[in-house]
Structure 1
Amino acid sequence: MIFRPNRRGRHARLSQRRRAVQEQAMKSIVSYRGRTPRIDPTAFVAPNATIIGDVEIGPHASVWYNCVLRADLGRIVIGARSNVQDGTVIHTEGPRDGHEGDVLDTVIGADALIGHMAVLHGCTIEDHGFVGMGAIVMDRARVCSGGMLGAGAMLTPGKVLPGGELWAGRPARPMRQLRADERAGLGEGVEHYLELAIHHRHALAGK
């Protein structure tokens, strides 16, 4: 009996290794001044996302394609099950070298939704908060739990968007109370992105 090596299995394993190497090469996870991003093993971080410095990404959170999270001046925290959608930029604020000043972390609570191409800078998004596509949240601004910032809106420095309200415009102003179906939709959006993250993880693994 002649032994024939299983070339197909070997090639499959090599292909999986190449994909893993390529994915890691595309994903930029960068330590900065001794601070290294801390990413929960259950979180999904897209291959071409860039994560720099003092960043913490919680369980089952997701950071999607082309996002940049740069925590060089303060902390960035992404809470459990929250999703940061494609193209979003998150930064912090703090004193320049040799100068005094406040550190403004950017903190996103649990079960929050951050829409495509949003910009968050030195702000807070509480649990179940919503930031629409292309919206901007500036220094010391806050979206309270269950609050919704509409697509393209700008929440200016220090403003507080209360829970249960929809704000829109530039600068953002209160529009109305959220309807019951809109409040329910926040939770449905979180569940949707939890499922999407699983499917994308499998697709990237070639499954």
Structure 2
Amino acid sequence: MTRHPGALILPFEDKVPQIHDSAFIAPGARIIGDVTIGPDASVWYNCVLRGDIHRIEVGARSNVQDGTVIHVEGPRPDTEGNPTIIGDDCVIGHMATAHGCVLEDHAFLGMGAIAMDGARIGRHAMLAAGALLSPGKVIPEREIWAGRPAKFMRTLSEEQATKVAFQSVRYVELARRHKAALRGETEA
């Protein structure tokens, strides 16, 4: 397993985080329990991913930006609970919260936004900065929702979808540069 200097990666009971060798886990990040992080994904400075009472999955090339908290909803007598599943090529802005929800491939969770238990952000859909997606709400593919509570604003344009895709690619490269810097390497 690749080392992640300065990050705290802890098992919880019988669950051990599974982190792909190409993933970047920044110093100060906390990865606990039943957490899987895919190829070229990145978890940035001071994020917390706590998979103690259910599982967390972060897909390939997705980025979880600084200060974000990802947790889950555990089983109760009336429900099996909700894992947090983040698909491939997702962008999660700084200081966001994802709790027991699903982000489909290419979804965007804006800075400071909150997605709650059982919520779902569809493919190429966006929850705007500072918005609150209530439990069980679903943002359909290519829609933008904003506000507290979040409501439909409009459909994502092709230009906006391209910008979100660019952010995913940008963060893969940025993670490589941060890894190199942490190893004391310089670019030629």
TM bucket by the smaller chain? over 0.9
Q: How far apart, in 1, do the equivalents of 2:73 and 2:92 lie?
A: 19
Determine whether 1:200 maps to 2:186. no
Q: How far apart, in 1, do the equivalents of 2:22 and 2:78 lie?
A: 38
Query: Which segments of 5 or more consecutive residues in structure 1 lack a partner in the other structure?
Result: 1-20
Matches within 5 A, 1:31-70: 31-70=11-50
Where do 4+ consecutive residues of structure 1 move more than 2 Å? none
Q: How far apart, in 1, do the equivalents of 2:179 and 2:45 lie?
A: 12
Query: Which segments of 5 or more consecutive residues in structure 2 lack a partner in the other structure?
Result: none
Q: RMSD over aligned Cα, in angstroms?
A: 1.3
- Would the alpha carbon gap of residues 100 and 32 (structure 1) be closer, same or farther in structure 2, given more than 3 Å must change? farther
Greater fraction helix = 1
Matches within 5 A, 1:169-184: 169-184=147-162
Q: How far apart, in 2, do the equivalents of 1:161 and 1:58 lie?
A: 24
Q: How far apart, in 1, do the equivalents of 2:62 and 2:79 lie?
A: 30
Determine whether 1:148 maps to 2:126. yes
Determine whether 1:130 maps to 2:108. yes
* TM-score normalised by structure 2 residue count: 0.94
Q: Give the Å deviation of 1:179.
A: 1.6
Q: Give the Å deviation of 1:103.
A: 2.3
Q: Give the Å deviation of 1:33.
A: 0.8
Partner secondary structure for residue 72 of structure 1: strand
- The one-letter amino acid of 2:23's match is A
* TM-score normalised by structure 1 residue count: 0.86
Q: How far apart, in 1, do the equivalents of 2:79 and 2:61 lie?
A: 32
Partner secondary structure for residue 145 of structure 1: coil
Partner secondary structure for residue 166 of structure 1: strand
Q: Give the Å deviation of 1:114.
A: 0.4
Q: Give the Å deviation of 1:102.
A: 1.7
Q: Which residue number in structure 2 is paired with residue 159 of structure 1?
A: 137
Count of matched residue pairs: 183
Larger Rg belongs to: 1
